[in-house]
Structure 1
C-alpha cells in the first residue's frame, strides 16, 4: 500500500515539510525581531550620545563665553566626563592639551569631534545659538552694572503692572547681560499688542554701558558699512531673542534705516556688524579649542553591522534549530505513522480473519485503534448473526416445504387420497411459509427505510379492544384471560394496522409463554408527552441474561423450542422496527417465574376533550368479565396479518 502512495502525499513527508517551514519561519521571525530590536536600541543609544555631545559642547562653549581663557576648565571637564561616562579632552589647534579627563599620556583620537569657539558656534548642533554664529552668552562690554540693573528692574515691573491693567499677563526674563525683558507665557518676546499707556520706550532705551558698547561697535563696523555702500553712522539698537535655552542678547540695525524689500542691503549690514561684534567680543572670550570625545570623534555613526563571526553563529544556530526540529518531527511522525500502518495492514487482511490491532496509546490514534477493534468485533458478531440467520431461515422454510413435498409425492403416487383433511394440512403449511416470508419482507423494508406508514389519529382504548378481540379465540383455546386497561383517553398519531400488528405480535408471544389459568393484560396510559402501551403476562419470564437478546432476529430463549412451539423468532424484531418507525422505543422487563412486561413508548397527540375516567378493564372470553365486540371493519387486520406475528 505504501508503495502506491506518492512521496509528497505521505504523512511523514508532510509532517517533515510542515515542521521545516515552521522552523524556517520561526528562525526568520526571530532574526528579524532581534535585528529590529537591536537597531532600535542602537538608534536610541546613538540619539542619547548625540544629546550628550551637544550638552558637552554647550557647557564648554558657555565656559569660553564667560572667561577670557581656559584657566580652571579642568574641573568642568571632569564633571562632564563623570556625567556622560566618556573621555573629554580640550586642546589648542596644534593639539597642545588644555584639559583632559583621561590619564596623562593617553593618545588622542584621530580627529576632533568639534571646535569650541563661542564667536563661531555651530548653529545646527548648538541649542540656543544665534543665526549670526556667535554664542549669545558672550556679553563682554554689554554687561550692565548693578545700578543699571536695578533701574531697569524697576522699569520692567512698572511696565508689567501696566500690562496687567489691560489684561495682558507677562513674565520677567533676564538676558545674559542683565537686561530684563517682558515676555508672554509662551516665551515670545514680541508682544502682539502694547497699549499706548505702556509704550513709553524707557525699558528699551540702552543704558550708558550699552550705549558705550554700541558706539564702539559702530566705529568698528564703519569701514565695512562704507564699503557696502551703507550709511556708516546709522544708529544701532538692542534686540532680545528668547529661545528654549534662555533669553539671549543680540544687536541689530534699526529697521527705520533699512526699507522693506532691501534684503541685500540688510544682509550686507548684518555681516559687517557680525564681523565687528566678533572683533569687539574677542578679548572677553577664551581662544578657540579642539574638543575630543570618547574613543574618537571621527568614529562612524553607531549602526548594526553583523560580523562574519556573528553571521556564522546565526547560520549555525538556524541550522541547529532546523536539525532539531526535523529530528523531533521525524520521531513524532514515526510514532504517529506506525499505528496507522498497523491499522492499514489489519484492514487489508481477509474479512474472515477479523484482525485486531494493539491499543498502546490514549491519544487520537489510540482512540482510532480502539474504534477499529470495536468495528471488527461488531463485524464479527454481524457475520455470526448472518450465518445463524441464514441457517434459521433455511430451517424455517425447510420444514413446511418438506411436509408439503412429502404429502404431494404420496398423493401423486396414489398412496393417500387428496381428501379435505390433507388439503387443509397443506394449506396450513403454506400459511406458515407465507408468515415467514411476510416477516422477512417487513424486516427488509424496515432495514432499507422503506417501511410505509399511514398515520392517523388512533384512540388507544379502541386499539387495545381490537387487538384483544383478534386474539380472543387463541386466548380461549389456551385457557388464558386476556384483559385490557386504559387510564384516561390517550390518543396516538399512528398507523392503526401496523400498531395492531406490533401489539398482536406481543400478545401472541405472551399467550405462547403463559400457562393455562394465567393472565395477559393490555394497558395504555399517558406519561407526559408520551403514551405507554404495555403487554404484561404471568408466564414463565426470562433470565436477566436473555433480556438483551429478546429483540434479536431468530433468537429463542429456549434453544430446544421448535418453530411450532417457540415461533419463528421474527415477531419481536418486527415490533421493535415498527415502534421505531413511529418515533418510539420498545422495552422489556422480566423475572423468571413471574412474567414479562413489554412496554411501547410512543409520542402522544391531543385527543378529544373527554374527562379522564378511572381505568377500565375488559376480559376476553376464557376468564372474561365482559365480551368485546369485533373490531371495526376499517381497522380489522387480514388473517395473514393476525396470525403468527410472534417473536421469541
Structure 2
C-alpha cells in the first residue's frame, strides 16, 4: 500500500523539523551573541560623545576659525589693496604723462610750428584730468589748459621731436620716427611701392615664409623677418625685394642732400666719407654721430621748435586726506566690531548645527534599530538632510521589498521542488511495498517528474548566470522567419492538442545578429505561455516586423488576459496568473523571467499589453547590430 501524500508530506516535514529547530536554535544563539555585542556597541555609541568628536563642537570650532581667519584676511587685504591702489594710481599717472608727452611729440614731428595746438592741449587735459601747459624756452606760453593758474616751478619735459628718449631709455638723443621731412613719398611713389610689396607678400605666402609687413610713416612698406636662414634665403633669392630697397626720386634727392652734409661733417673730423641709405645707419660711432647731426640739420625746418611741457593737477586739493589712525577710540571700535562678528558667528553656528544634528541623530537611531524592523524617519526639510532622509526611507522600503521577495522566492522554490520529489518518493515507496508494478507507465511517470525537476533546475541556472553577468551568447546571423517557423513547429503539437490555432506572420525576412538557441528559448517560452492560457478554439499568432531601432517580435493570443494590477509583476520569478500553483494551468513560473533576462542580454526590451477577456500581447524588440560593431 503506497503511502499517502499527506503522510509523505507530513513525514517529510517531521523529518525536517529537528534540523529546522536545530538551525533555528543555532541562529537564535548567534543572534543573541551578535545582539549582545551589538548592544555593547550601542552602549558605547549611546554614551555621551566626547566634545572633540561632536559634530556641533567641530562645526563651531571651524566657524570660529573661519571668522578669525576672515577678519585677519580682511585686514591684510585692506592694507594690500590700499597699497596696490596707490601703486596703480601712480602707474596710471605715469602712463598718462607718457601719453601726453608722446601726443605732443607727434604733433611737433608732423607740423612746422605750434599754431593751433590749443585744441590738442584741451583735449588731453579733459581726457586725463591734468593741467597741461606748453611754453617756449623763454617761458612764453604757447597753450595752457588753465591759463589763470601760475605755471608749476618744475618743467616736466622738453618737447623736441629731434631729441627724444625711447621707452625704457634715459638717452634723449634720438630722432622721433614720425619726423619725415623731405623723405615723404608722393602719391605716385606710394602706389608703386605698395604694388611691389603686394607681389612680394604673395610670393612669401606661396613659399611659406612668415614675414610681417609694416608701413613706415613716410609711406614706404617694409618686411620684418626672424633670424631663420631659410626664410632669409626665400626673401633674397625666391622673393627679391630690390624694388623696395631702391629709393624713389624724392628719397634719392633727400639722401643726396643728407650725404653731402655727412661728408662735410666727416671732413671736418678728418674721417673717410661713408654712404648713408634709407636705414640711416653708419658703420662707426663717429660716422653715426655725423649722420644724426646731419639729419637734425636736414629735418629742423620740417618740425616745430622745442617747447617746455608743464604737467600738474587739475586743481589743488582743498585739504589732505585723513587716514585711519590706531587711536584708543578707533582701536576700541575695531575690537567691538570684531567681537560682534565672533558672537554672531557662534550663535548662528549653534543654531544651524542643532538643526543639522537633529535629523542625523534620527537617522542614526533608525539605522541602529533591529534589522527586521525596517524603520522610517520623518522628512521635514527639502535640503540635503531631507534628501538623505528620503533616500534612507527609500532604501529601507526597497530592503523590505527585497526581503519579502526573497522569502517568497524561497517558498516558491521549495514548493516547486517538493511536488515532483514527493511524487517520485510516493511511487518509489509504492514499488518498494509491492503496490505498484515498475512497468512502462511507472518509468514514464518517474521520467516526467525527473524532467520537470531538470527543467526547473535549468531555468534557475539560466537566471543565476544572467544575474551574475556570465550568460554566454553565441551570436550569428539569424533569419527571423526561419527561426519563428522552427518555434511554431516545436509547439504545434501542444497547440493542436489544446485546440488552439498557431500561426506565424512576418514582413519581409528581417535578419538579426543574435544567439539562435537563446532566441528560440525566449520565443518558445512566450508561445508555450500563450498556448497554455488560451482556451480551445482560440488562436496564437507569432509575428515579426521591422522597427525603428531593430526587429520587433510579438506573440499575441486570444486568452483570458491579465488584470491591470498584475501587469507590473508578470516578469517576476514564480509569478502566475492563477495563485493556486496548479500545474494544469501553469509552468514553473520562471519562463517570463527568463524571457526578460535573455532580452536584456541581447540589449533588447520586452513589454506586455493585455486586455482582460480579450487577450495578451508580448512584444520583444531586439536591436540590429551593425557589422562593424560585431564582436567575435
**When the two structures are superposed, what TM-score results if normalisation uses the length of structure 1?**
0.53
1: distance between equivalents of 2:624 and 2:50?
58
Of the structure 1 ranges 369-378 and 5-14, higher mean CA displacement relative to structure 2 is found in: 5-14
Which residue is equivalent to 2:59? 15
Q: Mean alpha-carbon deviation: is it higher for 503-512 or for 371-380?
A: 371-380
Distance, in Å, in 2 between the alignment partners of 1:17 and 1:3 is: 22
Partner of 2:521: 501
**CA–CA distance in 2 between the matches of 1:441 and 1:187?**
99
Cα drift, residue 435 of structure 1: 1.2
Contact 2:525–2:592 at 8 Å: present in 1 too? yes
Query: Is the contact between residue 519 and residue 538 of structure 1 (CA under 8 Å) also seen in structure 2?
Result: yes
Aligned counterparts, 1:197-216, within 5 A: none
Partner of 1:430: 450
* CA–CA separation in structure 1 for the residues paired with 2:310 and 2:506: 106
- Say if 1:399 and 1:245 are closer, same or farther in 2 by CA, change over 3 A: closer
Q: Please say if residues 42 and 302 of structure 1, whose CA atoms lie closer than 8 Å, have aligned partners that are also in contact.
A: no
Q: Distance in 2 between matches of 1:547 and 1:516?
A: 24
Q: Name the residue aligned to 1:457.
A: 477
For the Cα contact (< 8 Å) 1:457–1:493, is it kept in 2? yes
2:75 pairs with 1:31: yes
- Structure 1 430/4 Cα, relative in aligned 2: closer, same or farther at 3 Å? farther
The corresponding residue for 1:356 is 376
Deviation by residue 1:36-60 (Cα, 9 ceiling, x = unmatched)? 678899999xxxxxxxxxxxxxxxx
CA distance in 2, matches of 1:433, 1:344: 47
Question: Is the 8 Å Cα contact of residues 610 and 617 (structure 2) preserved in structure 1?
Answer: yes
SS at 1:444 equivalent:
helix
Change (3 A) 1:591 1:311: same
C-alpha displacement at 1:433, in angstroms? 1.0
Alignment partners' CA distance in 2, 1:43 and 1:409: 107
Task: Call closer, same or farther: CA 1:563–1:186 in 2, change over 3 Å.
Answer: same
C-alpha distance in structure 2 between counterparts of 1:384 and 1:529, whole Å: 37
Cα drift, residue 245 of structure 1: 8.4
Structure-2 change in CA distance of 1:454 and 1:331 (3 Å): same
Q: SS of the residue aligned with 2:569?
A: coil
**Cα deviation per residue 1:6-38 (whole Å; 9 max; x = unaligned)?**
765654344323322321232223334555678
Q: Distance in 1 between matches of 2:321 and 2:568?
A: 88
C-alpha separation between the residues in 2 aligned to 1:42 and 1:462?
89
CA distance 1:478–1:168, shift in 2 (3 Å): closer
Matching of residue 416 in structure 1 with residue 428 in structure 2: no
Structure 2 CA distance for partners of 1:574 and 1:305, relative to 1, 3 Å: same
Cα deviation 1:289-322 (Å, max 9, x = unaligned): xxxxx99xxxx99765301232222122212211
- The CA distance in 2 between the partners of 1:187 and 1:433, in whole Å, is 111
Task: After TM superposition, give the deviation of residue 540 of structure 1 in Å.
Answer: 0.6
Taking a change above 3 Å as real, the CA distance of residues 326 and 496 of structure 1, as seen in their structure-2 partners, is same
Q: Does 1:346 align with 2:366?
A: yes
CA distance in 1, matches of 2:605, 2:581: 28
TM-score (norm 2): 0.55
Residue 329 (structure 2) aligns with: 309
1:350 CA drift (Å)? 1.7
Please identify which structure carries the higher helix content: 2
Deviations along 1:153-197, one digit per CA (max 9) or x if unpaired, are: xxxxxxxxxxxxxx7879767779xxxxxx9x9489xx99xxxxx
Match of 1:522 in 2: 542
Contact 1:520-1:535 at 8 Å conserved across structures: yes
Alignment match, 1:131: none
What does residue range 180-195 of structure 1 map to in structure 2 within 5 Å?
Answer: 186=158
| Alignment-derived partner of residue 478 in structure 1 | 498
Contact 2:505/2:541 (8 A) holds in 1: yes
Query: Which residue of the partner structure matches residue 229 of structure 1?
Result: none
Return the alpha-carbon distance in structure 1 between the equivalents of residues 557 and 86 of structure 2: 95
Contact 2:137–2:308 (8 Å) recurs in 1: no
CA apart distance, 1:525: 1.0
Q: What secondary structure is seen at the aligned counterpart in 2 of 1:26?
A: helix
Question: What is the distance in 2 between the residues matched to 1:460 and 1:40?
Answer: 79
Distance verdict in 2 for CA 1:562–1:305, change over 3 Å: same
| C-alpha deviation, 1:324, in angstroms | 1.1
Distance 1:605-1:36 versus aligned 2 partners, 3 A rule: closer
Which of the numbers 513, 516, 541 marks the counterpart of 2:561?
A: 541
Q: How does 1:150-189 map to 2 (within 5 A)?
A: 186=158
Question: In structure 1, how many angstroms separate the alpha carbons of the residues matched to 2:49 and 2:467?
Answer: 37
Q: 1:174 to 1:386 in 2, by over 3 A?
A: closer
CA contact (8 A) 2:578 2:585 kept: no
Give the 3 Å change call, closer, same or farther, for CA 306–484 of structure 1 in structure 2: same
Higher Cα Rg, which structure:
1
- Provide the residue aligned with 1:588 in structure 2: 608
**In 2, Cα distance between equivalents of 1:512 and 1:169:** 112
Q: Is the 8 A contact 2:158 2:308 kept in 1?
A: no
Residue 375 in structure 1 maps to residue 395 in structure 2: yes
Q: What do residues 590-646 of structure 1 show as CA deviations (whole Å, max 9, x unaligned)?
A: 001110000001102469xxxxxxxxxxxxxxxxxxxxxxxxxxxxxxxxxxxxxxx
Counterpart in the other structure of 1:490: 510
